[in-house]
Structure 1
Amino acid sequence: MPDLLDLLHSTFGFNDFRGVQRQVVDRVMAGDRTLAVMPTGAGKSLCYQLPAVALEGTCVVISPLIALMHDQLRAATAVGIRAATLTSADDNRVETIERFKAGDLDLLYVAPERASAGHFRELLSRAKVALFAIDEAHCVSEWGHDFRPDYRLLRPLLDSFPDVPRLALTATADAHTRDDILVQLGIPTDGLIVAGFDRPNIRYAISPRQNTTQQIADLLREQPGPGIVYVQSRAGTEKLAAQIAATGRPVRAYHAGLEPQIRAANQAAFVASEEMVMVATVAFGMGIDKPDVRFVAHAGLPKSIEAYYQETGRAGRDGEPAVAHMFWGADDFAKARQRLGEVDEIRLPGERARLTALGGLVETPSCRRALLLRYFGEHPPEACGNCDNCLSPPQGVDATELARKYLSAVFRTGQMFGAGYVESVLTGQSTERSLMNGHEALSVWGIVDGEDSALLKPVGRALQLRDALRTNPHGGLEFGPAARAILKGEEPVSLIVPPKRERRNRRDSAPNPVGDPLFDALRTCRRELAEEAGVPPYVVFHDSTLREMAAARPQSREALARITGVGTRKLDAYGDAFLAVLRQF
């Protein structure tokens, strides 16, 4: 058995394990069954890739998306691991099967649909299987936010090879989902390893949606590097992508309505780029294994906190600073409540709780990260120092009286007008419509002025979020079940008024904030090598590796081998090219 630390360095270029990696790898090497819950960017794939190299036989990796498998295949091959995918998109399936039977593969990636089929089980019996790795394991649970029925069919396959260790991996699973994964995949409770959910390098920020295009444009001005903007509709992705393109930033759109070849081309362009923005629906999901995404923006409310955590987790997988910014509107919550009507009775309480938790996240005046981590059962400090509320504490305002006035205006105008009209009645703005309706004679006409008038939009959002107001099919506001308690003064309404947003300097968040010409030269070298090899730049080396090179300035292959991320295979493939650049400085 090779020494694991030696293998870790020679294959991946790392001098030591991170976090719980060692604990997970030791269980795999001992033949145990394990569920590892590790945050995105914590190095989950290494937990099966390293044993795959160390053990005799092939590690079979069950993964939900072809794009994700191909990304991981590319990364594994780059460090010298013998890997292949067996999918409907591969034209070398016969060759892959022969390599597998001959023992020439360390890793074989397959989809759950193929893995659960009888003929695949028969194929596995003809070779030595060293390990089953079930990636994105939350898909096996009906309680998970990305449930995939085919994952429920994996247990018979796993049980057919009782002596083969099994490793389930996920970044997103609350306690209920974790328990379900253990049962569905036949893993004992003492096989659960939870690394924690914190992503300290991500700065979380949440803002009410006002002018989405302008808000996204401001974010892009501050954030260089690749990024993802999640939009709730297919048409919305196309529209926003066109608006971003007008600014000169490279951009692509991605949604399920595009032709498969266009989706694939757009994804490939994004993965290879160091500056592109992808505007996408959540169809652009788990298949993204791009470590250098510098920001993720939501132009609307995500489906749940689990979905939000997983989607924002696509930022900063390389451990470098990244930003997650959500822009939400009251209508998002109204639509989410409408969708609850389509949920079956068994799942309804859980879905309601998820929506309530999202409401708490967008409204909290305290640390966003602490709220997120408590949702997943952790006990974090009260403040993180890296979210909008910690960096610029918002002001709390008691808006109970103003909320009662707002509800009174909705009631007295007949529960049929939109927010803009209700606000114009409260501030006494005379229009032909208000004259025609006789609303200028109402007791609520013009009863809000001064500083209170600036709070009307936030109050309207807060009332819709709390389900005190709902939107009818024609866009008019009407009472929801929470209105009565607020009107009677039994339920207080507090508002969070965020501080004025300061514009950040784009240079502060650039990959090379100090403007080191050596670092820029190393990036140029990396880009040229990546183009020549037909791989994304990050497959060659991460920015953090180039930054360490620029700081240490190694002048020999031996010194370069000591840089984090420079394994034997990459030293042989790229070492001389980078040393030539380093020697110029």
Structure 2
Amino acid sequence: MTTQTTSPALDVLRRVFGYDAFRGEQAAIIDTVVGGGDALVLMPTGGGKSLCYQIPALVREGTGVVVSPLIALMQDQVDALAALGVRAAFLNSTLTSDERRAVERALVAGELDLLYLAPEGLRSRATLDLLDRATIALFAIDEAHCVSQWGHDFRPDYLELSMLHERWPAVPRIALTATATAATRAEIAHRLDLEGARHFVSSFDRPNITYRIVPKDRPEKQLLDLLRTEHGHAEHGHAEHGHADHKDVGGRGDAGIVYCLSRASVEKTAAMLVANGIEALPYHAGLPASVRAANQARFLREDGVVMVATIAFGMGIDKPDVRFVAHLDLPKSVEGYYQETGRAGRDGLPSTAWLAYGLADVVQQRKLIETSDGDAAHRRNLGMHLNAMLALCETVECRRAQLLAYFGQTLAERCGNCDTCTAPPEAWDGTIAAQKVLSTVLRLAREKGQSFGVGQVVDILLGRDTEKVRRFGHHELSVFGVGTDLAEPEWRAVVRQLLAQGLLTVEGVHGTLVLTEASGEVLARRREVRMRHEPVRPVRAAKARKAAVAEDLPAAGAALFEALRAWRAGEAKAQGKPAYIVFGDATLRGIAASRPGTLEALARVSGVGENKLERYGEAVLAVVADQGTDAPPDDGDVLFADG
């Protein structure tokens, strides 16, 4: 790296953001853009992507223009920068004409460090002419995977962004995304005219996230158990009696996101959580825009709120203290799953990615693909995405290793922080069981000219004398009753895994089972079928409130952490801003661990820059003093850039 770009960048990092050192490839990326080069950056959520364009925008002459699809979040992004003393603004449809003119005047006068724009704004001749009158330091294209037409977040307006290079060829561009396979990365480079850019691909590993995929069994109860035993949501929470006062903020559980596939499921799950005393809100495209905006604002600005949402929620959410992401329905792709689970633990502190997965999920997803719009190539692409997701669910190997392999990366050894590492499942030879299921489907088709769903196939295998079995003559089949060696849940697990392995598929709106080309290999005994037994997991003991954040702090430090959270909540409420804009959990944890007694000592805590030190320093020191000074200070932390 050159001295000319490194020194100013490090100065900004320390003075504005309060970090002592760059992480990973941040320094090389910043050096490239400060020097006028283009960059395509793949970096996981929480890896510090935003610093990669914010610091060059502060170092280079002019205004950094950030293209973001997230109009609803621009205000909070600008507020977070303003809290650091950065001159930031946005132009979008939420502004009044007077507000818009004020931003435009500031841009042309060179009084802005960063300007946020939605991609559709760049289709406006007036916006393009405005940018022509300004000095542009760089263009940052955030959430760049939105340009991928095969992706789960495709935005047509992103296809027009190649014009940035054509209109402003001397202005460096940086495109950033948290998730992309090699194919998606190539598509981003091609569509944004970034094939000559320098590519930076960080590790996709998020070691602070514990990945768990559990068999679905009364999923609402499973979700409640997760929130109560691991994330501090007591059986009688504040939601029963209205909103919690900020002075009681320590009594709430962790903030988290629960993803559901349908709007109806979102509403039902949110209502269930509220009925059980948990502060939960719904979010889906069917709600009025004002309700979505209000719910999102509460999630961002209050501690301990649980958002129940479809995948319409979450892209670009900057809330760093989301302690869990739970899925009650199977994601459609590994990229979608990674993107959604990546919203947990952006601050690097321990967090949970939890998915309840069952046979009905596989049937439903296969059925959705079978009946989806689009040509055969489109359905084939959807099928490949689903197959990769099912392989992740059914693996007996380390889940983290499987997840990284999808993105072309390797893990040297088992991670020790996923369910298949902490409670390894058993693999077993399921070939005979598979043959029994496939034979039943085959004989129904050949001898009866019929096809049925999972329930009827299992009834035949178990030899059940039901009205439906008698009506269709299924007791006459040679396979009737051949499956009494397994119980119904085990047969459903067998069918689920056959669907996952492509040895069965479903057809039609009723999801009837049919054979695939690969089924014949199993029936002819030319292919072995390996399956997994779910391990018996011990009931997890309830953890103390905020154990994930303060688990290695002494008792006095944990008490100080909670006192700092309560102070932060009051400060954020007074400002009408999200609590993390004041300070993130990781910074509060650093204060609780080191117990600074002076402004100089507080300035050494990661995340305390000049502006925040001046604004909040004395108040923070007062909270520390109120909690006593019985613990020795710890000034030995190595400070890194979170971004």
TM-score by structure 1 length? 0.95
What are the equivalent positions in structure 2 for 1:222-237 lying under 5 Å apart?
A: 222-224=230-232, 225-237=254-266
Aligned amino acid, residue 286 of structure 1: M
Aligned amino acid, residue 338 of structure 2: Y
Instruction: Report if aligned partners of 2:43, 2:202 keep a CA contact under 8 Å in 1.
Output: yes
1:55 aligns to 2:60 (yes or no): yes
What are the equivalent positions in structure 2 for 1:194-343 lying under 5 Å apart?
A: 194-221=201-228, 222-224=230-232, 225-337=254-366, 338-339=368-369, 341-343=372-374
Instruction: Find the partner of 2:469 among 405, 416, 434.
Output: 434
Aligned to 2:169: 162
Instruction: Report if aligned partners of 2:33, 2:56 keep a CA contact under 8 Å in 1.
Output: yes
How far the C-alpha of 1:345 sits from its partner, in A, is: 4.9
How far the C-alpha of 1:568 sits from its partner, in A, is: 0.7
Aligned to 1:403: 434
Work out the CA distance in 2 between the residues paired with 1:322 and 1:255.
24
Aligned amino acid, residue 109 of structure 2: A
Aligned to 1:378: 409
What are the equivalent positions in structure 2 for 1:485-564 lying under 5 Å apart?
A: 485-507=521-543, 509-513=547-551, 515=555, 516-564=558-606
Instruction: Find the partner of 2:44 among 35, 39, 46.
Output: 39
Higher relative contact order (CA 8 A, sep 6+): 2
- Aligned partner of residue 543 in structure 2, secondary structure: helix
**Structure 1 410/353 Cα, relative in aligned 2: closer, same or farther at 3 Å?**
closer
Aligned to 1:138: 145
Work out the CA distance in 2 between the residues paired with 1:132 and 1:145.
24
How far the C-alpha of 1:196 sits from its partner, in A, is: 1.8
How many corresponding residue pairs?
585
How far the C-alpha of 1:73 sits from its partner, in A, is: 1.2
Work out the CA distance in 1 between the residues paired with 2:334 and 2:33.
31
Work out the CA distance in 2 between the residues paired with 1:38 and 1:475.
39
Work out the CA distance in 2 between the residues paired with 1:175 and 1:189.
16
Work out the CA distance in 2 between the residues paired with 1:344 and 1:472.
17
Instruction: Report if aligned partners of 1:469, 1:483 keep a CA contact under 8 Å in 2.
Output: no
String of CA shifts for 1:215-263, please: whole Å, max 9, x gaps. Answer: 2122212224111111111111001111111211100000000000000
Instruction: Find the partner of 1:425 among 460, 475, 479.
Output: 460
TM-score by structure 2 length? 0.87
Between 1:32-41 and 1:330-339, the stretch displaced more is 330-339
String of CA shifts for 1:510-538, please: whole Å, max 9, x gaps. Answer: 43335521111111111111111111111
How far the C-alpha of 1:288 sits from its partner, in A, is: 1.6
Between 1:438-447 and 1:541-550, the stretch displaced more is 438-447
Aligned amino acid, residue 214 of structure 1: K
Work out the CA distance in 2 between the residues paired with 1:98 and 1:506.
56
Work out the CA distance in 2 between the residues paired with 1:476 and 1:152.
40
How far the C-alpha of 1:435 sits from its partner, in A, is: 4.2
Instruction: Report if aligned partners of 2:350, 2:548 keep a CA contact under 8 Å in 1.
Output: no
Between 1:409-418 and 1:526-535, the stretch displaced more is 409-418
Between 1:493-502 and 1:527-536, the stretch displaced more is 493-502
Between 1:23-32 and 1:220-229, the stretch displaced more is 220-229
Instruction: Report if aligned partners of 2:259, 2:327 keep a CA contact under 8 Å in 1.
Output: yes
Between 1:420-429 and 1:93-102, the stretch displaced more is 420-429
Between 1:225-234 and 1:510-519, the stretch displaced more is 510-519
**Structure 1 285/549 Cα, relative in aligned 2: closer, same or farther at 3 Å?**
closer
Instruction: Report if aligned partners of 2:314, 2:340 keep a CA contact under 8 Å in 1.
Output: yes
Between 1:424-433 and 1:289-298, the stretch displaced more is 424-433
Unaligned runs of 5+ in 1: none
- Aligned partner of residue 322 in structure 2, secondary structure: coil
Work out the CA distance in 2 between the residues paired with 1:52 and 1:472.
54
Aligned amino acid, residue 71 of structure 1: D
Aligned amino acid, residue 282 of structure 1: I
Instruction: Report if aligned partners of 1:141, 1:180 keep a CA contact under 8 Å in 2.
Output: yes
Instruction: Report if aligned partners of 1:121, 1:157 keep a CA contact under 8 Å in 2.
Output: no
Aligned amino acid, residue 56 of structure 2: P
Instruction: Report if aligned partners of 1:331, 1:464 keep a CA contact under 8 Å in 2.
Output: no
Work out the CA distance in 2 between the residues paired with 1:451 and 1:183.
53
**Structure 1 75/232 Cα, relative in aligned 2: closer, same or farther at 3 Å?**
same
**Structure 1 258/366 Cα, relative in aligned 2: closer, same or farther at 3 Å?**
same
Work out the CA distance in 2 between the residues paired with 1:354 and 1:310.
14
Instruction: Report if aligned partners of 1:66, 1:111 keep a CA contact under 8 Å in 2.
Output: yes
- Aligned partner of residue 25 in structure 1, secondary structure: helix
Between 1:336-345 and 1:1-10, the stretch displaced more is 336-345
Aligned amino acid, residue 541 of structure 2: N
1:579 aligns to 2:637 (yes or no): no
Percent identity, aligned pairs only, is 48
Unaligned runs of 5+ in 2: 233-253, 629-643
What are the equivalent positions in structure 2 for 1:76-91 lying under 5 Å apart?
A: 76-91=81-96
Structure 1 moving runs of 4+ over 6 Å: none
RMSD: 2.1
